[in-house]
Protein backbone atom coordinates (compact mmCIF):
# COMPACT_ATOMS: atom_id res chain seq x y z
CA UNK A 1 0.00 0.00 0.00
CA UNK A 2 1.10 3.53 -0.77
CA UNK A 3 0.17 6.70 1.13
CA UNK A 4 -1.25 9.01 -1.55
CA UNK A 5 -1.40 12.64 -0.37
CA UNK A 6 -3.42 15.39 -2.03
CA UNK A 7 -2.16 18.88 -2.72
CA UNK A 8 -3.01 21.46 -0.08
CA UNK A 9 -6.42 23.05 -0.60
CA UNK A 10 -5.85 26.49 -2.17
CA UNK A 11 -8.42 28.02 0.19
CA UNK A 12 -7.74 26.52 3.62
CA UNK A 13 -4.40 24.75 3.16
CA UNK A 14 -5.69 21.37 4.36
CA UNK A 15 -4.47 18.19 2.69
CA UNK A 16 -5.49 14.57 3.06
CA UNK A 17 -4.00 11.16 2.47
CA UNK A 18 -5.50 7.86 1.41
CA UNK A 19 -3.96 4.43 1.10
CA UNK A 20 -3.90 2.98 -2.41
CA UNK A 21 -2.35 -0.11 -3.91
CA UNK A 22 0.81 -0.04 -5.99
CA UNK A 23 -1.27 -1.06 -9.02
CA UNK A 24 -3.68 1.85 -8.46
CA UNK A 25 -0.76 4.25 -8.11
CA UNK A 26 0.81 2.92 -11.31
CA UNK A 27 -2.45 3.32 -13.23
CA UNK A 28 -2.81 6.92 -12.03
CA UNK A 29 0.78 7.72 -12.98
CA UNK A 30 0.14 6.26 -16.44
CA UNK A 31 -2.73 8.71 -17.01
CA UNK A 32 -5.77 6.63 -16.11
CA UNK A 33 -8.65 8.74 -14.79
CA UNK A 34 -8.98 8.77 -11.02
CA UNK A 35 -12.70 7.96 -11.16
CA UNK A 36 -11.88 4.78 -13.08
CA UNK A 37 -9.06 3.69 -10.78
CA UNK A 38 -10.38 4.66 -7.35
CA UNK A 39 -14.09 3.82 -7.62
CA UNK A 40 -14.08 2.79 -3.94
CA UNK A 41 -13.13 6.33 -2.87
CA UNK A 42 -16.06 8.80 -2.47
CA UNK A 43 -16.32 11.40 -5.27
CA UNK A 44 -15.71 14.34 -2.92
CA UNK A 45 -12.39 12.82 -1.84
CA UNK A 46 -11.38 12.04 -5.44
CA UNK A 47 -12.12 15.69 -6.30
CA UNK A 48 -9.35 16.72 -3.89
CA UNK A 49 -6.87 14.94 -6.12
CA UNK A 50 -8.30 16.57 -9.26
CA UNK A 51 -8.84 20.20 -8.26
CA UNK A 52 -7.12 20.36 -4.88
CA UNK A 53 -10.18 21.83 -3.16
CA UNK A 54 -11.40 20.14 0.03
CA UNK A 55 -15.12 19.30 0.22
CA UNK A 56 -15.90 22.15 2.64
CA UNK A 57 -14.21 24.84 0.50
CA UNK A 58 -15.71 23.34 -2.68
CA UNK A 59 -19.19 23.67 -1.15
CA UNK A 60 -18.48 27.22 0.04
CA UNK A 61 -17.24 28.34 -3.37
CA UNK A 62 -20.00 26.80 -5.42
CA UNK A 63 -22.90 27.44 -3.03
CA UNK A 64 -21.92 31.13 -3.06
CA UNK A 65 -22.16 31.13 -6.86
CA UNK A 66 -25.67 29.64 -6.86
CA UNK A 67 -27.27 31.92 -4.28
CA UNK A 68 -29.44 34.75 -5.61
Candidates 61, 44, 46; CA nearest to 10 is: 61
Q: Give per-residue pLDDT as tens, 6-50.
A: 989 999 999 999 999 999 999 999 999 999 999 999 998 999 999
Is 16 in contact with 6 (CB distance < 8 Å)? yes
State pTM to two decimals. 0.77
Is 17 in contact with 6 (CB distance < 8 Å)? yes
Name the residue ranges covered by the structural domains of the chain: 2-66
Mean pLDDT for the stretch of residues 45-65: 87
Amino acid sequence: MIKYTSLSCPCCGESTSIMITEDEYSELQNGELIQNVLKRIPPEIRERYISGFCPKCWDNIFSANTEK
